[in-house]
Structure 1
Amino acid sequence: MARDRLKIGLLAIAGSGLAAGFALWSADQDALAKLAWSMGVIPVLAGLIAEIISSLARREVGLDIVAALSMSAALIFGEALAAAVVALMYAGGTFLESFAQGRARREMSDLLSRVARTATLQRDGGLLTVPLDDIVPGDLLMIRRGEVAPVDGTLGSDQAVLDQSALTGESLPVRLTRGATVLSGATNAGDAFDLCATHRAADSTYAGIVRLVRAAQASRAPMTRMADRFSLVFLVVTVVLASAAWWLTGDPIRAVAVLVVATPCPLILAVPVALVAGMSRAARFGVLIKGARALEAMARVKTLIVDKTGTLTDGRPVLVSVRAADGFDQERVLILAAALDQVSQHPVAQAVVTAARTKGAVLPVPTNVVETPGAGVTGLVDGHAVVVGGTDFVAARTGVAAWDMARPEPGAVVVAVAVDGQAAGWLVMADALRPGIAALLSALHRHGIGRIVLATGDHRSVAMAVAKGLALDAVHADLTPARKVQLILTERANGPVMMVGDGVNDAPALAAADVGVAMGARGAAASAEAADVVLLVDRLDRLLPGLLVARGAKRIALQSVVAGIGLSVIGMVAAAFGYLAPVQGAVLQEVIDVAVILNALRALRLGPNAT
């Protein structure tokens, strides 16, 4: 903030000095006009020299040196007006660069600005405002209209309307029902609701996002470091050309004109603005790119390797079908099984309960419940003895030795249901593909991904069943984490590799890939830490806009560099041959700088629907 105020102050001084000089010049006070112009230059030049000394102390050489040389040379050779124009243009350029950087970071800054500091806790029939760090799992919070959910939790009210645009990039609010997961960072767009905390603030989704955003903002891209190296070359070329113009013509004003045209360099301005704008734009689509280096690498990806469980699939079992035995109907079988499964936290049991509630079923409360972890549950439902679990578990407790059913698809799970000692039916559960996966993989192929490979630790029969009908170029199953890493190294022969995964076992592969993508900031901490890119929501379709933004941002940065440097070199040559006076050169260079910055900001409009 203080640095921004200093830039504004220097811009005001330079502008005032230039305006005062013109006023005195129009009054035929030439000597005083030159003094006013010079007084407007000196503070800017002093601040610039201090910045150069600081950069040299960090062993960084930038084109600020050219700006200092041009202002100094103009003052020494009596071109006070040219010096004043350069000072104004330089101060204006640095301010414009700061403004552009701020504009480019706006989506990421919005993410940071939404961090809650307190929460409204419901306790002993009253409401307390407490610091966020005091919230523990199990606490009941009230989220008022317009407030941001401070921690992850489950919905304790009948329904809630949430604006998740900060997480997903989608503008339409979503409606959730009791028991649904509420992610921290979502805004309450409806009536107040109760939130039962499931995580501490430091472990919640939004806290993880904030940590990743701060790390991303501090990064520098290889292209930016390349710009730093080229700045030294450009500095040498500028000084040599200016010296040659002076030596060959004997006119020092030619050298001054060359110097002012080269102040500053579009290479330094355009690259960081375009890349940061790309990172910010990707965040708008729910894709957190953890640095400009990762964005550049993402733009070059040719091969995509995807994990199966939790990536191509939801990673959670869903009900595929209900089959009823003679004397029972499907609805009754599902209600009895779901009623008993209410007491279990097993993922399959919770999926059965969710399926029944989705169909509008009212589930009775079971009694005399006994759960055998990982196997099944027994109990009474509406006076009936119900057993739910694997076929062996149910057979052992009911005497029903055989189940007349078709063999499930590879990867599916059968949940048997017995009522009063009789086979009532069975539920077929499966880890289903995410919606739209086939269209997404085809779109990735169309947008330059040459190979898409499935890599999973599941059996090959399961992997092939999942891969059926998908635009996959290869399927590798029965992989250990080490073999996934080896697969990435092998595929790298076809070009840069992107790996997408969500589990702890994927962390080594994510780290080995040119670009590692973790599914969801709330997923496994190891995978999010190892990844270069984190999808802020548990949706693989966010990958496509992230890829398009990365490629577009890099393309825009290169366009700005080529056009800016080309125009600067043409202007320098014209100045060396006397076709541009120092004042004209300064104005021309500022026009070039403004053009490349505005072009770089086009990255803020990138995405699937960008024009």
Structure 2
Amino acid sequence: MTRPWKGPRALGQRSAKSLAAFASGLVPRRDEALFALVTGGLAAGGIALWRGNDQVSDLLWLLVTAVACVPAAWWVVDGLLHRRFGSDVIALLALGGTLAVGEYLAGAVIAVMLTGGRLLERRAGRRARHDLSALLSLAPRLAHRETPQGLDTIDADRVRPGDTLVVRSGEVVPVDGRVRGGPAIVDESTLTGEPLPVEHPADDDVRSGAVNCAGPFSMRATADAASSTYSGMVRLASEAAAESAPFVRLADRYAALFLPVTLTVAGLAWVLAADPVRAVAVLVVATPCPLILAAPIAFVSGLSRCARRGVVVKGGGALERLARARVLLFDKTGTVTAGRPSLVGIDTVGEVPPHELLRLAASLDQVSPHVLASAIVRGARERGEESSVPVAATERAGSGIRGTVDGHRVSVGKADWVGPGDSGWVGRVRNRAAARGAITVFVGVDDHLAGVLLLQDPLRADAARTFRLLRRAGITRTVMVTGDRAAVAEPIGDLVGADTVHAGLSPAGKVDVVRAETGRASTVMVGDGVNDAPALAAAGVGVALGARGATASSEAADVVITVDRLERLAETLAIARRTRTIALQSVLAGMGLSLAAMAVAASGGLTPALGALLQEGIDVAAILGALRALGPGRDRWPRLYGDEADLVRELDQEHRALWPRIERLPALADAVCAPGRAPAERERRHAAVEELTGFLTDLAAHERKDERLLYPAVARALGGADPTGAMSRGHAEIANLARRITLYTTELTATGTDAAAPGGDTVPADITRDLRRAVDELHAVLRLHFAQEEENYFVLADTPDSRPSRRPGAPRPGSPDPRPP
């Protein structure tokens, strides 16, 4: 089949694009070919000299020097055309000088250093373009428009304001609009980062890019696709990416000062000695190979070290800008929090115990696609509750779900959906939940309100420690920018120590805050969602948490953390600053040695050939100094590896299992101390005593394992005289409280008037008072102690995908450490 003729203009455009793509692909190959050519010529000339063919060796070195002069001249001209004054000027003068006085070996050595440095620099400084393909791939493409004949599926670009659209389950809202038949339950995490679905009643506005996570709903378009929210996000990311300045070579900053000094010394040597060879010798030893090589090698080494830690830095420019950063901006959801709701509490009203309330709710929510339902089911599974199969389950979008579980009529959802109850209690529960930054899911049993489940997006275990390390690494100001509500964001900001919290922001609002902060100091923006992409591109350095984050944020960012560890951010910042310091040290040391060699050459102590060899030695010293960036600094980060890391992960699982039991301690105290002589009441008290005793036994076993295995390993990693002493003191206080509680429960059991004893009907007031106080104290101490262990100790376990399972010679847990402190 013959292809249609597109005309000369179309063919020209296509040919130009193809040629440009082909040429861009040849650039790195050209640099590699040039380096290989001059290196091969230098080596061939050396072989010819060794075999006694002086004329052949001089000819080869002459050709190498002449070949290197062509790209060197172009680099100088190109730099001047782009208003960049680089160190290549000195190298070009040295090449020309060696040709003029016949010092071809010196010229060939300079050619190898110059082309090799350019190749290394291009690899170190090449930045990834801010590819917006992920944003574009997520853009709404289709819409279902209501017509007299029914639904008509059209391109989203054809929607006009006033059109009536239907958004089906799981589809993306194509344009901004207003809900007609509500409610609409949509996932706006793409736009705001908020992980929980949002309910929009009739006549409420809904934005393009949100995903319908409930039943179909009708809406009236208020904007076309080009004017809608999602298209605005793409434009913001494009504009912000265009504002990012390219990487300016570190060597160029010193060349402006180094060049006039070099020319002055060379000119004086020529005039005073009346010998042009001395001037060439000065130019040869002044060739800024340390400038050309040291900085790129240091930055390549820093990039390599980041990569070994699971962090991808897109070029030396990003690493250098990260080293200068002073202000950190960060999103909340998925960045400093886990990014998904988790069950954090259960309150009951009535006779249904908390664990049974959770079991019934989780059994019913097994058949619900709601994101909160999965969190409830997961919470029940973590607490060891076995779910039953629900019968006749029905769900209403925006209200909740109902069904029968083990003969009980169960409903989960809003308070007015689950059944009648105490409105005052409901109000108090909602107020307490708001104070904790949690949301409420009410549960009804047999047509009456039975309790509430509290869900929260928990803080990452390593968040608080990461921010402390960032402060130590040089960050002077931290700013939270989030689309979440202020009531939820501000407590999280307080926990991590944020200086300022900006809540309720749209993607455009985040960009405004980032630009305002960037105008005052160098900035870093950290995020994980599509809605963070414009802000990441607008910041001085964008950092994406790519382990669980959206592809768009990774594409728009300069740095991508590929492991699910926020702590890597502080580590990467420390690596960047150390890399920049090493690059500066190597450059300044190389320049100092070159200046000293220039003085010797000007006095006649060096010929151009010897100067070139001396310059090689200076280059080697600069390179070795730059390679220090491959290793850790003096303040190396404490880590637990191999078996020790496996132990931490095992103890972390035990923590996860103990947390729900810790939260039940107040309820257990109430059950143990409750009066009453009815058989059912006495049975509940017996069960509560047994549960409390079992918890204390398991807790004691866990604390012994901590003290015997974990704390010695942590002490070796942290160093110092007694780094775990305060936590061991916490263990002693926990053991003391556990002994007191055991004593009180024993007294209750032994007392004839104990309600748990046969025939008892009351509990002694002094024992109940002491027991409640001890349980409350244990509850508070355990919450703080577990949080401290998770934030300070558990985060030391290195991720298994970034280090070998066990270092050679590393001690096993509990064994003495053979390494010196």
Question: TM-score normalized by structure 2?
Answer: 0.53
1:529-583 CA-to-partner distances (Å, cap 9, x unmatched) read 5544333345432210121122112212211221112211221122111122223
- Asked if structure 2 preserves the Cα contact closer than 8 Å seen for 1:516 and 1:532, the reply is yes
Distance of 2:119 and 2:556 partners within structure 1: 31
Counterpart of 1:87? 108
Q: Deviations over 1:66-113 (max 9, x none)?
A: 55654554455454xxx32552464267458757987x79xx9xxxxx
Q: Is the 8 A contact 1:18 1:40 kept in 2?
A: no
Output aligned runs, 1:134-213, within 5 Å: none
Query: 1:505/1:37 Cα in 2 relative to 1: closer, same or farther (>3 Å)?
Result: closer
Are 1:503 and 1:524, in contact at CA under 8 Å, matched by a contact in 2? yes
Is contact 1:221–1:296 with CA below 8 Å preserved after alignment?
no
1:460 to 1:3, Cα distance in 2 relative to 1, 3 A: closer
Change (3 A) 1:401 1:555: same
Q: Give me the whole-angstrom Cα distance separating, in 2, the residues matched to 1:495 and 1:394.
A: 53
Q: Which of 320, 329, 334 is matched with 1:305 structurally?
A: 329
In structure 1, give the amino acid aligned to 2:313: I
Output the CA distance in 2 between the equivalents of 1:511 and 1:71.
42
- Quote the residue 2:289 is aligned against: 265
TM-superposed deviation, 1:282: 2.5
Distance 1:274 1:425 in 2: 61
Partner of 1:319: 343
Distance 2:597 2:536 in 1: 47
Larger relative contact order (CA 8 Å, sep ≥ 6): 1
Correspondence 1:26-105 to 2 at 5 A: 32-33=53-54, 35-55=55-75, 58-59=78-79, 66-67=90-91, 69-70=93-94, 73-74=97-98, 76-77=100-101, 79=103, 83-88=104-109, 90-91=111-112, 94-95=115-116
Query: What is the aligned counterpart of 2:302 among 271, 278, 281?
Result: 278
Find the counterpart in structure 2 of residue 581 from structure 1. 607
Alignment match, 1:416? 442
Deviation at residue 317 of structure 1 after TM alignment: 0.9
Question: Which amino acid counterpart does residue 437 of structure 2 have in structure 1?
Answer: G
Deviations 1:215-262 (A, max 9, x none): x9xx995441x6347547645553453233122211222122112212
The alignment covers a number of residue pairs equal to 486
Secondary structure of the structure 1 residue equivalent to 2:443: strand
Matched, 1:428 2:454: yes
* Aligned partner of 1:381 among 384, 394, 405: 405
Asked whether 1:499 is paired with 2:525, we answer yes
Gap change, CA 1:561 and 1:527, over 3 Å in 2: same
Q: Secondary structure at the match of 2:389?
A: coil
Q: 1:220 touches 1:293 (CA, 8 Å); kept in 2?
A: no
Aligned to 1:597: 623
Shift of 1:506: 4.1
Identity %: 45
Per-residue CA deviations over 1:268-304 (Å, capped at 9, x if unaligned) read: 2222222333234333333333443332222122222
Whether the 8 Å CA contact 2:121–2:293 is kept in 1: the answer is no
State the match for 1:345 in structure 2.
Answer: 369
Distance across 2 between alignment mates of 1:503 and 1:582: 58
Structure 1 SS opposite 2:287: coil
Q: Is the 8 A contact 2:345 2:453 kept in 1?
A: yes
How far off is 1:479 after superposition? 4.6
- Alpha-carbon distance in structure 1 between the residues aligned to 2:553 and 2:524: 14
Shift of the 547–229 alpha-carbon distance from structure 1 to 2, 3 Å rule, reads closer
Q: Output the amino acid matched with 1:248.
A: L
- Per-residue deviation at 1:439? 1.8
**From 36, 42, 61, the counterpart of 1:14:** 42
- Summarize the Cα distance change of 1:527–1:70 in structure 2 as closer, same or farther, 3 Å threshold: closer
RMSD: 3.7
User: What does the per-residue CA deviation read over 1:2-45, in whole Å, with 9 as the maximum and x for residues that have no partner?
Assistant: 75465345324323422442453xxxxxxx53x14303303322
Q: Secondary structure at the match of 1:308?
A: coil
> Aligned partner of 1:454: which letter?
M
> Which residue number corresponds to residue 487 of structure 2?
461
Residue 298 and residue 92 in structure 1: after superposition, are their counterparts in 2 closer, same or farther (change >3 A)? closer
Gaps of 5+ in 2: 1-28, 129-240, 639-821
**What is the alpha-carbon distance in structure 1 between the residues aligned to residue 252 and residue 36 of structure 2?**
25
Measure the CA separation in 2 of the matches of 1:9 and 1:531: 37
Q: 1:450 to 1:100 in 2, by over 3 A?
A: closer
Conserved 8 A contact 2:291-2:591: yes
Counterparts in 2 of 1:447 and 1:5: CA distance versus 1, 3 Å: same
2: distance between equivalents of 1:556 and 1:65? 25
3-state secondary structure, aligned to 2:618: helix
The structure having more radius of gyration, on CA atoms, is 2
Secondary structure of residue in 2 paired with 1:441: helix
**In structure 2, distance between residues paired with 1:498 and 1:76:** 51
Q: Which position in structure 1 is the counterpart of 2:25? A: none
* Aligned partner (choices 276, 299, 303) of residue 252 of structure 1: 276
Alpha carbons 2:87, 2:251 under 8 Å: kept: no
SS of 2:343 mapped into structure 1: strand
Taking a change above 3 Å as real, the CA distance of residues 64 and 440 of structure 1, as seen in their structure-2 partners, is: closer
| Distance in 2 separating the partners of 1:483 and 1:99 | 40
* Aligned AA (2:327): T
Pick the aligned partner of 2:596 from 554, 570, 573: 570
- Which AA in structure 1 matches 2:287? T
Would you say the 8 A contact 2:110–2:284 is kept in 1? no
1:532, 1:271 → 2: CA distance? 19
CA contact (8 A) 1:314 1:433 kept: yes
Contact 2:121 2:296 in 1 (8 A): no
2:772 equivalent in structure 1: none
Tell me which amino acid in the other structure corresponds to 2:330.
Answer: V
With over 3 angstroms needed to count, the CA separation of the structure-2 counterparts of 1:516 and 1:71, relative to structure 1, is closer
Q: 1:370 to 1:516 in 2, by over 3 A?
A: same
Q: Distance in 1 between matches of 2:447 and 2:33?
A: 80
Native 8 Å contact 1:245 1:254 kept in 2: yes
Contact 1:501–1:518 (CA<8 Å) still a contact in 2? yes
Kindly report which structure 2 residues correspond to 1:507-546, keeping only aligned pairs within 5 A, or say none.
Answer: 507-520=533-546, 523-524=549-550, 527-546=553-572
* Deviation, structure 1 residue 338: 1.8
Equivalence for 1:152: none
Amino acid at match of 2:265: L
* Contact in 2 for aligned 1:41/1:71 (Cα 8 Å): no
Amino acid at match of 1:359: R
SS of the residue aligned with 1:357?
helix
Is the contact between residue 120 and residue 296 of structure 2 (CA under 8 Å) also seen in structure 1? no
Cα separation, partners in 2 of 1:19 and 1:528, compared to 1, 3 Å: closer
- What is aligned with 2:472? 446
Determine the C-alpha separation between the residues in 2 that align with 1:559 and 1:487.
Answer: 35
Q: Output the amino acid matched with 1:7.
A: F
Cα distance change, pair 96–456 in 1 and its aligned pair in 2 (3 A): closer
Counterpart Cα distance in 2 of 1:492 and 1:2: 38
| 1:37–1:543 distance in 2 versus 1, CA, 3 Å | same
Structure 1 residue runs of 5 or longer lacking an equivalent are 25-31, 109-215
Equivalent AA in structure 1 for residue 588 of structure 2: V
User: Quick check: 1:45–1:68 contact (8 Å CA) kept in 2?
Assistant: no
